[in-house]
Amino acid sequence: MLTRIYAIFLARNREFIRDRGTLAWNIVLPVALVLGLSFAFGGDGKDEFTIGILQQGEQIDRDQHPFLKTRFIDFVVVHDERAAFRKIEHHQLDLLVRFDAPASYWVNPESPKGYFAERLLLQADGPAQEGLRKEQISGKAIRYAEWVLPGILGMNMMFSSLFGVGYVVVRYRKNGFLKRLRATPLQPLEFIIAQVSSRLVLIMAITVFVYLGTHWLLDTRMEGSYLTLFLIATLGAISLISLGLLVSARVTSEELAGGLLNLINWPMMLLSGVWFSLEGAGDTMRALAQIFPLTHILDASRAVMLDGAVLADVLPHVLALTAMSVVFLGLGATLFRWTPK
C-alpha cells in the first residue's frame, strides 16, 4: 500500500515541478499582491474615526451622550472587552467608550487619531462627560500589509488546492489516466491519500517560502508561535485539498469542474475576510462565513500572528478544520470513481 501511494506521490510532484509556468505563478502572484497592496494601502487608513461603544445591547442609544451625535464618526458596538482592548492596542479602534457605570474610556497614547477622538469626546456638550474615567492602552499599529498577508497566503493556498487537485483529477478521468490506474492494485483511498500528500508538500513549501520572503522584505509582525501557525496552515491546506477532491470525485467535464470550483472559490474569497474584515457585517453573514475552511484558516492565523494567540485560543478553528478534512476526505473516497461512466 505504502509503495503504491509513494509512486503516485512522486509522479504528481514531478508533474507539477515540470510545469514551470504554474510553479512560478504560485510563487510570484502572492508576493506581488502583498507588495502592491502594502504600497497602495500602506497609509493611516480611513479618514473617519472608529469608536467602540462597550455595552450589552446591539443598538446604540444616541441620546445617552452628545458625543454619539457627532458626525463623520463610525460608532460600533463592542461586547468583548478583552478583544476591544487588543483593537485599541493595535490602533484598529481609535477610542473605546463605556457610558454605563462606571463611565470610562480607553485610548492609545501612541495613536494620532486616538488623540483627536479623545479631544472630541471631552469637548462634547453635556454634563455626562465630566464623569468619564480615562485609561490608557499602549501598542503599535498593525499595518495593512501585516493584516492582509494571511489573507493572500490563504487565497493562494485555496486556488492551488482546489484547482491543483480538483481540476487535475477531472482531467485524469477524462483522458483515461484513471482508467489505466484502475487496472493496477491501487485503491481509491490510496490514490486520494497520494494526491493529498503530494499537493500538501508543494503548497506548504511554497507558502513557507512566500511567507519568509514577505516577512523579511516588509518586516511583518509575528507575535505568536511559528509552530502553531504551521499547524494551522497544514490543517487548512488539507481541508482545502480534500474539498477539491470532493468536487472532482465524480465530475467528468473540465468545464463543469471549473464552474463548480469557481462557485466555491469566489464566495469563499469574498466572505472569509481575505481583503477586508467582516466585523461590520451582519450576524447572518458572519455565520455563513463559518462554513468555509478559509475563514477558520485566516481567523486563526491572524490571531496567532497579530495577537499572539496560543493553540488553546485557536482550538475551535483547529477542530473545525480537522472535522472538515475528515468529512471531505470520507465523502471524496466514497463517491470517487475511476472512469467517466
| Residue-by-residue DSSP string for 148-193 | HHHHHHHHHHHHHHIIIIIIHHHHHHHTTHHHHHHTSS--HHHHHH
What is the rounded CA–CA span in Å between residue 191 and residue 176?
Answer: 15
Q: Quick one: which of 70, 110, 106, 83 has its CA closest to 279?
A: 83
**What is residue 314's predicted lDDT score, i.e. its pLDDT?**
93
**What is residue 132's predicted lDDT score, i.e. its pLDDT?**
80
**Helix, strand counts (H, E) of the chain:** 13, 5
- On the question of pLDDT at 300 being above 60, the answer is yes
Q: For domain 49-136, which architecture applies?
A: 3-Layer(aba) Sandwich (3.40)
The residue behind cell 463592542 is 78
**What is residue 16's predicted lDDT score, i.e. its pLDDT?**
64
Give 132 or 325, the one with higher predicted confidence.
Answer: 325
Give 127 or 224, the one with higher predicted confidence.
Answer: 224
Of 94-108, 205-219, 263-277, 289-303, where does mean pLDDT reach its minimum? 263-277
Mean pLDDT of 27-41: 59
- On the question of pLDDT at 45 being above 60, the answer is no
Mean pLDDT of 189-198: 82
Give 2 or 301, the one with higher predicted confidence.
Answer: 301
- On the question of pLDDT at 152 being above 80, the answer is yes
Strand ordering across the sheet containing 95-98: 73-78, 49-54, 95-98, 104-107, 133-136
Torsion from C-alpha of 241, 244, 248, 253, nearest 10 degrees: -130
Hey, which bits of the chain come out as E strands? Answer: 49-54, 73-78, 95-98, 104-107, 133-136
* Parts of the chain belonging to CATH 3.40.190: 49-136
Parallel/antiparallel/unpaired status of strands 49-54 and 73-78: parallel
Which distant-in-sequence residues (6+ apart) come within 8 Å of 245 by Cβ?
165, 166, 169, 192, 195, 196, 328, 329, 332, 336
- The answer to whether the beta carbons of residues 235 and 323 sit under 8 Å apart is no
Of 120-129, 173-182, 288-297, where does mean pLDDT reach its minimum? 120-129
Q: How is residue 107 annotated by DSSP?
A: E
Q: Which pLDDT band holds residue 40 (cuts at 50, 70, 90)? A: very low
Q: Which pLDDT band holds residue 318 (cuts at 50, 70, 90)? A: very high
**What is residue 33's predicted lDDT score, i.e. its pLDDT?**
60
Q: Quick one: which of 200, 174, 230 has its CA closest to 9?
A: 200
- The answer to whether the beta carbons of residues 272 and 153 sit under 8 Å apart is no
Q: Average per-residue pLDDT in the chain?
A: 81
* pTM of the complete model beyond 0.75: no
- Dump pLDDT digits (tens) for 222-240: 888 999 999 999 999 999 9
Backbone phi, psi, residue 147, to 5°? -75, -40
Q: Quick one: which of 242, 230, 234, 240 has its CA closest to 193?
A: 242
Q: Which residues pair with 77 in a beta bridge?
A: 53
